[in-house]
Amino acid sequence: MKRSFTAMRWQKWVLTTASALFMVTSGFAKAPDPAVVKAQDQRTQATVEQIKAALPKTTASKTTPADVATCYACHKDIKEFHAASKHASVNCAQCHTGADDHVAKDGKAPIGTRTDHAAC
């Protein structure tokens, strides 16, 4: 009686150890630690705030939407390209800076293209 009890415990130990090993090696045990996730989220947020603060004012979210029809009057090729693109619903001014001046001077004033991630 006592012997089989010990045997059962031994068997249980082997099974537990084996499944624990399986879990560790198969990645089951790698469920993210909430404390680590939280710390990472905070770091990410801090980085985002830092980037936001470092952005020039002109690239902040307040852009005056450009009158697309005006742009298309001179940029017919862009109409074809833009209207069929995934950015069709994104206003030109979201990516191009100084649009007002560009239009006011009949396209002679330079216009910028934003390449920072915030534009995306």
- Note whether 70 and 104 are within 8 A (CB): no
Nearer to ligand HEC, 41 or 80 (CB): 80
Residue number of the CB closest to ligand HEC reads 107
Nearer to ligand HEC, 59 or 78 (CB): 78
Token pair listed for 46: 């801090």
CB closer to ligand HEC, 59 vs 68: 68
Name which of 19, 36, 40 is nearest 28 in CA terms.
19
AA identity, residue 80: E
CB closer to ligand HEC, 35 vs 88: 88
Dist. CA 103–CA 108, nearest whole Å: 8
d(CA 11, CA 86): 60
Residues with Cβ < 8 Å from 20, sequence gap 6 or more? Answer: 29
Residues in the site for ligand HEC, rule: CB under 6 A?
Answer: 66, 68, 70-71, 73-75, 78, 82, 87, 90, 92, 94-96, 99, 102-103, 106-107, 111, 113
